[in-house]
Amino acid sequence: MSAGNLVTKLNRRFGVGIQKVRLYRIRKGEAPVWCGQSEGIEISLLTHDWIAVLQKNNPTLDLGEWAARLGNDNLCYCALRSGLLVHYTWVQTSGRHRILRAGRYKQICAGEFWIYECWTSIASRGLGIYPSVLSRVVCDLLDRGWQEGVIYTTPQNVASQRGILKAGFLYDRTFRSIRLGRHYFPI
């Protein structure tokens, strides 16, 4: 392990810093919604039957946690390319939502959905999959009667910010927290 990697790991575990989380919103009727889809991509909602298939594609996923989430007002949109999982996006539609790096819990209001934990495989980045999935989530949920969607990312994740904006979300605010090791405290 290089000295730089060691310092980074020590900082994550024991370091102190200021963390920022940028929050974006999209409201029914306020922002344009692009309902496009990347070519060669199949977007589907995750079902309990599908979870075993995902384990073949990515054995590092905590599929027990995924199965538990599906029973708690969470949806998972998956994008497949040539039959392989290349992207997933989680959506929470009720309850308290934890924004870890902001050190906050937010109550999800009636008519509101929160998008979180989005991932795209390295080989599939830059193909427009992320904004396609976000757009699909927004179109589906606004069509089903939800009024507002919320998503967030860190200021360093410029690629995520571009995808969020392309899907029609608008910047709302920045949350700040103090990081002490792996713990975050809102400021």
Q: Cα separation of 28 and 161, whole Å?
A: 20
Whole-angstrom distance between the N-terminal and C-terminal Cα of the chain?
Answer: 34
For residue 71, is it within any domain? yes
Closest residue by Cα to residue 102 from 110, 114, 111: 114
Instruction: Please give the pLDDT value at position 130.
Output: 95
Instruction: Please give the pLDDT value at position 83.
Output: 83
Buried b / exposed e along 151-177 (16+ C-beta atoms within 10 A) = bbbeeeeeebbebbebbbbeeeeebeb
For residue 152, is it within any domain? yes
Place of tokens 């974006």: 24
Q: Cα separation of 160 and 141, whole Å?
A: 20
Domain total in the chain: 1
For residue 2, is it within any domain? no
CATH number at residue 100: 3.40.630.30
For residue 10, is it within any domain? no
Place of tokens 């899907």: 167
For residue 177, is it within any domain? yes
Instruction: Please give the pLDDT value at position 5.
Output: 72
With 0.75 as the threshold, say if the pTM is over it.
yes
Structural domain that includes position 150: 16-186
For residue 59, is it within any domain? yes
Its sign, for the CA torsion 54, 55, 60, 64, is positive
pLDDT tens per residue across span 48-95 = 777 776 666 666 777 777 788 887 789 999 999 888 889 999 999 999
Residue 38's pLDDT band, with cuts at 50, 70 and 90, is confident
Instruction: Please give the pLDDT value at position 106.
Output: 95
Give the least confident one: 13-17, 159-163, 181-185: 13-17
